[in-house]
Structure 1
């Protein structure tokens, strides 16, 4: 696996340095030192994208970023990233981002995890060490959670400690089947991402401050098992958003991520 990952790393580096140049999949295979057939098969197995799909997604993401950071004409950006005409660029752009390039530029901000990132060695090593990449699809009823909310989008051990102390102080009678973390990402311009940590509750009634109620909407959830320390969770999320989701046929109904920690609140850096 080490030699295979090194070859794919070389191919990804080659793609990154030629995003604005005309290259073929055969060129990318040559950069990895593989035959075309062997390269395509190995790339698919390791990256979970075809080489061409990965190349196009990286070009579109860099073009999308330039729409915000430069005043270049859309057609010039399209040509820079090897799209031969604005119609081809617009169709590919809308297929990926659900907006026309002009609408994207007018939006003025990058939606959460919409840009396809460069896959780094740490990401490939992480997903190729996971025992299972396939989620369980779970239908959930509407659930109410009791806990604390803070500005930010990550769990911290400090928040876990404050929640534990607060629940003891108010003598919450809720049965702690497990702790949930809920990331709510910025929606409208000017809003900030928030992180909620709490436990299930049977009552949606307003609790005693500083505790708040967070509702998890009913719906179909994709449940993934993260293997590794909490600081590598971002790599699992990269796989979910940029490998599994585009190929799953599923869509996001809400801009939240739900974490389930079980009966013990994790310490930062511990396995989860």
Structure 2
């Protein structure tokens, strides 16, 4: 029998407990991943939070009950984990484009896919622009000075953060090189009320010391240890597909275990444009 990947096991657990009051911590505990690694896995591979995934699946299950049972909307709403019929109706309309009552009356049967399909362009990118076998490196502790901000699955604020850092770097003479580092601070991951995921990130560069660091620059230390290093080439619009490959394809088959340290991106050459085909970034995934 084929061994299931951590994500497949997580989805299997969710499906088996869909009618129970479960959240990401329950899923992570069942799989043996930390809360933060489970967050990273869901957001990287499926492009949404575990909370939104669970809600979408509950709504799809509820849609079948609306069509195939005589139960009231209130009963279905409460059994689907919603605190009120109003909250259920709002979420249902956002997902299906109609209210539960309209959906039932029209006899609609819409499918909400649980897995994002890959386009031909995604397949080409994975085949040609990603280093499929990473280099395994053991790094010493690194000091990074940069600017801290937040980004989320629904709203990418990273370009503005990098613009601010590059402006500050041009005014300061303390950086050891022109390399750029983008660090995802997994311990600062926050679920918003609407089910989105907000990540704390630092955009910065290497320094030899932190003393006298002027605001708004903040100190950030990258811990020593083993990293699996992948190379991403081309438009940064495809970074999502690269992380899909790393967490969804390479990690389940690699026999490696994620470590609690933070993953980061290293830009060794100047970035001229977001969609520049000559862009290149090294992605460091912490492993035990």
1:179 to 2:180 alignment: yes
Q: CA deviation at 1:71?
A: 2.2
For 2:158 and 2:246, the matched residues in 1 are separated by 22
Structure 1, unaligned runs of 5 or more: 1-49, 74-96
Superposed counterparts of 1:224-243, under 5 Å? 224-243=230-249
State the partner residue of 1:147.
Answer: 146
- Residue matched to 2:52: none
Distance 1:202 1:242 in 2: 36
Q: Name the CA distance, whole Å, in 2 between partners of 1:175 and 1:146.
A: 10
Comparing 246-255 and 196-205, the one that deviates more: 246-255
Q: Is this contact kept in 1: 2:186–2:200, CA < 8 A?
A: yes
Structure 2: distance between partners of 1:243 and 1:151: 27
Is 1:209 aligned with 2:206? no
SS of aligned partner of 2:41 = coil
- Structure 2 residue runs of 5 or longer lacking an equivalent are 47-114, 193-197, 280-288
Partner of residue 252, structure 2: 246
Note the C-alpha offset of 1:124.
3.4
Gap change, CA 1:183 and 1:58, over 3 Å in 2: closer
Match of 1:159 in 2: 161
C-alpha distance 59-149 of structure 1, shift in aligned 2 (>3 A): closer
How many residues in Structure 1 have an aligned counterpart in Structure 2?
193
Question: What root-mean-square deviation, in Å, do the aligned CA atoms of Structure 1 and Structure 2 show?
Answer: 3.5
CA drift at 1:57: 6.6
TM-score by length of 1: 0.58
How much has 1:69 moved relative to structure 2? 5.4
SS at match of 1:132: coil
Q: C-alpha offsets along residues 22-73 of structure 1, whole Å, 9 cap, x if unaligned?
A: xxxxxxxxxxxxxxxxxxxxxxxxxxxx9x557x777634334446753289
* Secondary structure in 1 matching 2:160: helix
> Relative to structure 2, which stretch is displaced further, 241-250 or 171-180?
171-180
TM-score, normalization: structure 2?
0.56
Q: Kindly report which structure 2 residues correspond to 1:14-29, keeping only aligned pairs within 5 A, or say none.
A: none
Q: How far does residue 193 in structure 1 lie from its aligned partner after superposition?
A: 1.5
Q: Offset at 1:158? A: 2.2
The structure-2 alpha-carbon separation of the partners of 1:64 and 1:206, relative to structure 1 and needing over 3 Å to count, comes to farther
Shift in Å, 1:141: 0.4
CA shift, 1:208, in A, is 0.8
Give the secondary structure class of the aligned counterpart of 1:161.
Answer: helix
The Cα offsets for residues 68-122 of structure 1, whole Å up to 9 and x where unpaired, read as: 753289xxxxxxxxxxxxxxxxxxxxxxx76338x99xx8x95321586436223
